Structure 1
Amino acid sequence: MERTFIMLKPDAIQRGLMSDILKRIESKGYKLLAMKFLRIPREQAERHYAEHKGKPFFEGLIEYMTSGPVLMMVWEGENIIASMRTMMGKTNPNEAAPGTIRGDYAQQTGRNIIHGSDSPESAKREIELFFNDYEIQSWEPSVSKWLCE
């Protein structure tokens, strides 16, 4: 099973979209392993978005991501990284398909509701940045045998 890091951004929280988005992920059959609701410290936000440092939008991104609480999660499932990328939709909500999270809820790239890891390497890095091992739970849902062969 693969793990991924998912974060609902401040706009999702302020707009009351947490439960709708969580329901989509849970309904897909993925397993929640960890969750935190907090305001990201600036230094941690800068580490998370380090690949964008020096780009014109970096400072605005950091200000936005630290402007209010976010919901950070670790999810597990078969091919979850690719599947979640599809469920989220393209980064630019105007290009995201209807039925995707961004296609249904977001209007601008700078306020696109959700972040998800784009590779196993980034998932590992992002999970380790925000969660300790003891915060990630191991458990087996009773419906697992009905979801995957």
Structure 2
Amino acid sequence: MADRERTFVMVKPDGVQRGLIGEVVGRLEDRGLKMVGGKFMQIDQDLAEDHYGEHEGKPFFEGLVDFITSGPVFAMVWEGQDAIRQVRRMMGETDPAESAPGTIRGDFGLDLGRNVIHGSDHEDEGSNEREIGLFFDEDELVDWEQADETWLYE
């Protein structure tokens, strides 16, 4: 597959508690992306602080860390053509009130602080690789050929 890329995606504690893991996975699969890594986990304080490190010192940093450590998450790596941008569009705006119906946040989010899903930022050079590396060792990611790839891409 030409121009394939990987992106980090996480169903946050609110999405896990609301039983939305399957919905999120289904939407990404329906789009033609393939999961190459996934783990159900509890994020500890150190990982949370590393993950949100760019926000350290901002007034909302502690709240982000407290929330992401408040319950289990489902961390994933997805692969596909233009995967980062595709996932960002499917997620919707950070504030669910500004997200279009049909996006994950537009359909399931109600509050900025409880917006169901996290995905790596397309505009932030290196954030994608950094986040994948924080949550996954290279040997936890599986290279595999999806049977319908020839029907998805030229």
Q: Secondary structure at the match of 1:145?
A: helix
1:140 aligns with 2:145: yes
Pick from 78, 82, 98 the counterpart of residue 79 of structure 1: 82
In 2, Cα distance between the equivalents of 1:29 and 1:83? 10
In 2, Cα distance between the equivalents of 1:127 and 1:70? 14
Partner of 2:58: 55
Partner of 1:29: 32
TM-score (norm 1): 0.98
Q: Identity of paired residues, percent?
A: 54
In 2, Cα distance between the equivalents of 1:54 and 1:109? 20
In 2, Cα distance between the equivalents of 1:26 and 1:94? 25
Which ranges of structure 1 fall in alignment gaps of 5 or more residues? none
1:57, CA displacement in angstroms? Answer: 1.0
Runs of 4+ in 1 over 4 A off after TM superposition: none
What is the aligned length?
149
TM-score (norm 2): 0.95
Q: Secondary structure at the match of 1:68?
A: coil
CA RMSD of aligned residues (A): 0.7
